[in-house]
Structure 1
Amino acid sequence: MFEIVHIGIPTTQSKEGETYVPGGEVYVTPPEKSPFAMEYARFLPGTVFPETMRHDVPVAAKIDSIEKCAAPADEIIVPKMDGGACRLCFVRKDGAIIELMEEK
């Protein structure tokens, strides 16, 4: 399974409905409330996410296995991390950032 679920949009401005992600030092908006499935991400100083995540637009996909889907990636940007209801991993393939979301 590889199902696109949202597009990540880095921002420096606070957005209505954003919530803080503990340990990530980032605020995100719920993509399910966006008519275009956009998730705004506002990174704080000390964020665990690298600089590239503050400028590039990732596409998020639900997948069956992080290990399987991350294998053909050119680079693992953020290794497996706890995303609450899912495990997350950010990879780069052919210049694009993909957020892999595996349900627990």
Structure 2
Amino acid sequence: MKFNHLGIPTTERFDGEIDLPHLKMTVSDHENNPYGIQWQRFWADAPYPELVKTVPHAAFEVDDLMAEIKVSAS
């Protein structure tokens, strides 16, 4: 498992915005942030639950998602 980013939702604009029209959101470049922070601004019509649009999250990369889910559940 490898840390990827810390996603922090915001309603404010930020430097270096990257629009992702297919996801209906705007993000910052977490790969060039020393702490892996990715600012995330969701568009008004973004089809995500309020929890996703308002609560920070930690994201990790895994080789086998189902195996990691099973380990976490046990």
TM-score of the aligned structures, taking structure 1 as reference length: 0.61
Between the two proteins, the alignment pairs up a number of residues equal to: 73
Q: Structure 1: where are the runs of 5+ without partners?
A: 75-104
Residues 17-69 of structure 1, C-alpha deviations (whole Å, 9 max, x = no match): 11111221100001012121100000011113211012111101011123333
Q: What is the CA RMSD across the aligned residues, in angstroms? A: 1.8
> Structure 2 counterpart of 1:18, which letter?
E
Structure 2 counterparts to residues 1-40 of structure 1, below 5 A: 2-40=1-39
Superposition deviation, residue 71 in structure 1: 4.5
In the aligned structure 2, how far is the partner of 1:61 from the partner of 1:21? 20
Larger RCO, structure (CA 8 Å, separation 6 or more): 2
Q: Percent identity?
A: 25
Instruction: Kindly name which structure, 1 or 2, has the bigger radius of gyration based on alpha carbons.
Output: 2
Unpaired stretches in structure 2, ≥5 consecutive residues: none
TM-score, reference length from structure 2: 0.83
- Taking a change above 3 Å as real, the CA distance of residues 72 and 26 of structure 1, as seen in their structure-2 partners, is farther
